[in-house]
Amino acid sequence: MTSIVLYCRPGFEKECGAEIQEKASWNEMYGYLTLKKNQGLVFFHLHDESHGEILMKKLPLKRLIFARQWFITLTEKIDLPDYNRVEAIVDALGTDWQYDELRMETADTNDGKALSKFCRKLAVPLRQGLRKVKVLTCKQSNADSKTDTEQTGTILHALFLSGQEVILGFSLAHNSSKHIMGIPRLKFPSQAPSRSTLKLDEAFLHFIPKNEWQERLTSGMNAVDLGSAPGGWTYQLVRRGMMVTAIDNGAMAESLMETGQVKHKMMDGFKYAPMKQNVYWLVCDMIEKPQRVAKLMAEWLLNGYCKEAMFNLKLPMKGRYQQVTEDLQSIKDAFSEHKVKYELYAKHLYYDREEITVHARLLSPLPPKQ
């Protein structure tokens, strides 16, 4: 049976499974789920084997909120011997298809991390073995240097459940994460006042194509950070050369204030509105009910207060997928009511915890005010 394996944050398997099952049913493709609880792995077993690749071609990974990465299985779980593991994997894979890249992967758990040394040691001989039988091309592409539209070919995934068990599968390079297991490895900057800075750093990397940074993430732009203190998100705007208005009743880090790029207004983020319509970026990581934040973000865009918004919606303890769906739909409904074209994406990013990150911007001019 063909299955789609999805990687997500451990503890969010239920939400990831509900989402892929719903999106597949919209395309009249059906199956059942096997969840690896707290392992960050979801197996969606399709009733029709031909639907795996069809679904992966029709459904963009970026439209899935809780899935970081995915692949279609080529094999069932393979039991590996203590010796000659390379030969066992090559034999199980066969030589019918050719792949452009090999990724050695594990679950995002402590046990999975303990396997990383084993995977690194096995990776070189396995690549050599696969190239020898012409299953793997001679050169691996540098995914980080390419835009999403430039990604081509197929990626071979080897998901190691242990040193004795592996599942093989493939994904389409143009519709998969550039990062192994969908996890970017970002370094925490020592100058940043809080670790929350990594959330916005990852969000910019994820949502904004690098070939558009010169237009959309450039020095000299004006930005507003709602709920800014102590300045984790403001730091990411400042380091990109932007002028930031930081809105929070709490204190901002002195290091940010000393840059001369930050104006701090001590007030409620829900009560602030810019005097001029010269703000490009609005960012927001307020610990508030997601319904209120979603409404506020839509209002900022529809009032012309900003061009693009990046914000987090906090997740409830229960009914998380349902709440996320309702919050995003409320934003879509507000945009549709004003008959504007828009771009709206959401992702449970690696550096997120109990929240999702949303990016929104309008693609058509605002209608004239009555």
Omega into 230 within 30° of 0, i.e. cis?
A: yes
Give 9's Cβ-side CA count (13 Å radius): 15
How far is it, in rounded angstroms, from Cα 112 to Cα 108? 6
What amino acid occupies position 3? S
How far is it, in rounded angstroms, from Cα 113 to Cα 190? 25
Alpha carbon 50 to chain centroid, angstroms: 27
- Ordered structural domains, the chain, with CATH: 3-182 (3.30.70.2810), 197-362 (3.40.50.150)
Q: Is 199 a catalytic residue?
A: no
pLDDT in tens, 103-155: 999 999 999 999 999 999 999 999 999 999 999 997 655 555 555 545 679 99
What distances in angstroms separate CA 147 from CA 152, 173, 324, one per listed residue? 10, 11, 28
How many CB atoms neighbour CB 34 within 10 A?
13
Residue 244's beta-bridge partner residues?
223, 262
14, 210, 295, 314: the active-site residue: 314
- Average per-residue pLDDT in the chain? 94
How far is it, in rounded angstroms, from Cα 166 to Cα 170? 13
User: One digit per residue, pLDDT tens: the chain, 370 residues?
Assistant: 799 999 999 999 999 999 999 999 999 999 999 998 899 999 999 999 999 999 999 999 999 999 999 999 999 999 999 889 999 999 999 999 999 999 999 999 999 999 999 999 999 999 999 999 999 997 655 555 555 545 679 999 999 999 999 999 999 999 999 999 999 999 999 999 999 999 999 999 999 999 999 999 999 999 999 999 999 999 999 999 999 999 999 999 999 999 999 999 999 999 999 999 999 999 999 999 999 999 999 999 999 999 999 999 999 999 999 999 999 999 999 999 999 999 999 999 999 999 999 999 999 887 776 5
| Pairing mode, strands 281-284 and 342-347 | unpaired
Dihedrals φ, ψ of 315, to 5°? Answer: -100, 140
How far is it, in rounded angstroms, from Cα 19 to Cα 26? 11
Report pTM.
0.93
